[in-house]
Amino acid sequence: MIKTAIIEDSQALTSVYKAFLNDSDFNVSLFHSTISDINRLTKQGGFKLIVCPCFPKFQDGPQIVQSIKSDPDLSNAVFIVSTSMQQENVRSEWDLRDIDSILIKPFDQQGLKRTLQKAYHSHPQLTRQTPLALVIDDSKAVRNTLASYLKALKFDVKTASDGYQGLKTASDILPDLILVDVEMPVMDGFEFCKKLSKEPGIKNIPTIVVSGTIDESQFRKGFRAGAIDFLEKPVSQPALAAIIESVSVKENTHSTGTTVILSKDNTLSSILTKTLNFLNSSINICSSLDELETYLCVTTPDIIILDLSENKDKLNVCMHVRNLLRSDSPVIIAVANETDRDIMFQCFQFGATEFIIKPFGRDEVKARIENHIKLKKLQDELVQKNRILESLAYKDKLTGLMNRRYFDKALKDETAKAQSNNTSLSFLMIDLDNFKQVNDRYGHDTGDAVLKEIASMIIDNVRGNAIPCRYGGEEFCIIYPDTTLAAAVKNSEKIKRFCSTKPISKHRIYQTISGGVSSFPETSSPEDLVADADNCLYKAKRAGKNKIITNFEE
């Protein structure tokens, strides 16, 4: 089961997710986009997939992804954004490098499952314990020799004696690698590669041609057919091992990025897909510039490959794509014919990062890209570290709640919203009763356990879009946007009740709390919300503790 978190504020869509993913491979937990629910999500942890609406109700999407991905347990979770694609300001709202995949709304059950499965698995072969190779040769001796080499390299092996049998076997078993002999009766190796490239389910399997002679003519013929490399007969195990290491056919390797290819040439797209296998990247094919524009509207890939060979306005294609990205981060690789060498340096000026001439070898493409990928990895690590640092600046380390620094900013923002929109804003100040006695009697470790458990109970019972924070020491507070005094008091009483009834730690401490509630415009001005709630808190203390008091009470 794939542990999946669905963040959704619409009750109707929540019901759809439940119905569509019931009895599926996805173990689904549902959350709202409130701070308290996102805290609950990170507290629960262990999620492999996270689906979030493009425009959540209670927080900005980037805030949500930052809060989630700053948690070490969730930093590698696949993040999927659901969108209707009519929203043209998606790019302005999101840092699209945070998005691993897109879920297009409206969707049917199969479309939803397909999107989630594709996001989670980089290839259908991921479920295998060991990689699988297919050897196609009309000579039994050659088949046996290559099979023995591959088994020594930790492969499972299937064989076929001709091209037709090879195509059927490839379709049935979906191998990770295919070795095919050039010289076979009925269908030679090049013809096999051509036919393979036209089969949707198997066209992107890396295919290596085995030949007695390798010259310029054969290289070009193999490229046009869709092969990614050659092995010269007699084949040695070290040569085979070197190629396998180079194409990175490995077991259970997850996707490490996104690549998009713009090309009308299906063979070229297939070659590039197989050539880039070493990246373990999720690869998307766009056959037109309009399709690429739509794709880039909602996500930013790590690598973009532009086939310029059939474009008349080659330089403007590079410039247009770079402008769409609004960033220098993604690698843009321009692929062109030999007759286009004269525009190579201009392509760099117009936004391309690399320029490759057809036909090209796999090693050439790999060498050109690897340095860019290493640099991108360093940049991503820096972004992640900055994200964690920023999260630490706003999160209380002990309780996981937002801290005083975040509270000051949030209260200022919510006060401005309440005044501007003429809506209610309520505030609860909480203090733990007799907490000093807990520390004195049981020690500070137990005191910390009590603080963490009270914070957990606040998270589990806080209302809607409320913002719970640790104010300092044993004091907590909750900002209630768009909430009347009566509603805030009701939720505060619920929290108080839960805190007093649950035993904490091995000492079974029943920790009560006292609270004061203020509300704009019912009891307080925006400037006096905190002071009024604090005064009410002290009234609750003097009245015997374990109480919630407001300014409306005597």
Q: What is the DSSP string of 434-471?
A: THHHHHHHH-HHHHHHHHHHHHHHHHHH--TT-EEEEE
Tell me the per-residue pLDDT of 10-42, one tens digit each, with 9 for 90 and over. Answer: 888 999 999 999 888 899 999 999 888 898 898
Contact 189, 170 (CB under 8 A): no
Q: Which domains does the chain have, with CATH numbers?
A: 2-120 (3.40.50.2300), 127-247 (3.40.50.2300), 258-390 (3.40.50.2300), 404-550 (3.30.70.270)
The beta-strand segments (E) located in 254-326 are 258-262, 282-286, 303-307
How is the beta sheet containing 548-550 ordered, strand by strand? Answer: 467-472, 475-481, 425-432, 513-520, 548-550
Contact 189, 210 (CB under 8 A): yes
Q: Name the percent of the chain lying above pLDDT 70.
A: 90
26-31 vs 258-262, strand pairing mode: unpaired
Euclidean distance between CA atoms 42 and 204, whole angstroms: 37
What Rg do the C-alpha atoms of the chain give, in angstroms?
Answer: 30
Tokens representing 498? 């839960």
Contact 369, 356 (CB under 8 A): no
- Cα distances from 2 to residues 25, 26, 81, in angstroms, run 6, 5, 18
What's the mean pLDDT in 167-190? Answer: 88
Say what the pLDDT of residue 121 is.
67
Tokens representing 181? 């002999």
Residue 510 has pLDDT above 70, yes or no: yes
Residue 250 has pLDDT above 90, yes or no: no
Say what the pLDDT of residue 122 is.
47
Least confident segment among 216-225, 239-248, 275-284, 529-538: 275-284
Tell me the per-residue pLDDT of 336-353, one tens digit each, with 9 for 90 and over. Answer: 888 888 888 888 888 888
Active site residue 522: no
Say what the pLDDT of residue 439 is.
92
Say what the pLDDT of residue 497 is.
93
Euclidean distance between CA atoms 447 and 452, whole angstroms: 9
Euclidean distance between CA atoms 460 and 472, whole angstroms: 20
Higher confidence at residue 517 or residue 63? 517
Residue 295 has pLDDT above 80, yes or no: no
Ramachandran category for residue 544: left, alpha or beta (phi over 0 → left; psi -120 to 50 → alpha): left
Tell me the per-residue pLDDT of 379-436, one tens digit each, with 9 for 90 and over. Answer: 777 777 776 677 667 888 899 899 999 999 999 999 999 999 999 999 999 999 999 9
Least confident segment among 82-96, 106-120, 294-308: 82-96
Contact 524, 461 (CB under 8 A): no
Amino acid type, 255: S
Cα angle at 16 between 43 and 11, to 5 degrees? 65
Euclidean distance between CA atoms 322 and 304, whole angstroms: 10
Say what the pLDDT of residue 77 is.
87
475-481 vs 425-432, strand pairing mode: antiparallel
* Beta partners for residue 262, in sequence order: 286, 306
Contact 102, 282 (CB under 8 A): no
Tell me the per-residue pLDDT of 136-156, one tens digit each, with 9 for 90 and over. Answer: 999 998 999 999 999 998 899
Which range is most confident: 97-101, 208-212, 377-381, 446-450? 446-450
Residue 301 has pLDDT above 90, yes or no: no
Ramachandran category for residue 351: left, alpha or beta (phi over 0 → left; psi -120 to 50 → alpha): left
Least confident segment among 197-206, 441-450, 463-472: 197-206
Residue 43 has pLDDT above 60, yes or no: yes
Catalytic residue among 251, 364, 474, 475: 474
Least confident segment among 99-103, 298-302, 398-402, 410-414: 298-302
Euclidean distance between CA atoms 236 and 515, whole angstroms: 78
Q: Which residue has the tokens 């949030």?
A: 410
Q: Name the percent of the chain lying above pLDDT 90.
A: 36
Q: Tell me what the pLDDT averaged over the chain comes to.
A: 84
Euclidean distance between CA atoms 412 and 448, whole angstroms: 29
Q: Give, as one character, the DSSP assignment of residue 53.
A: E
Tell me the per-residue pLDDT of 462-475, one tens digit each, with 9 for 90 and over. Answer: 877 899 999 999 99
Euclidean distance between CA atoms 386 and 368, whole angstroms: 29
Residue 269 has pLDDT above 90, yes or no: no
What's the mean pLDDT in 51-73? Answer: 85
Say what the pLDDT of residue 85 is.
57
Tell me the per-residue pLDDT of 213-240, one tens digit each, with 9 for 90 and over. Answer: 777 777 778 777 878 778 888 888 888 8
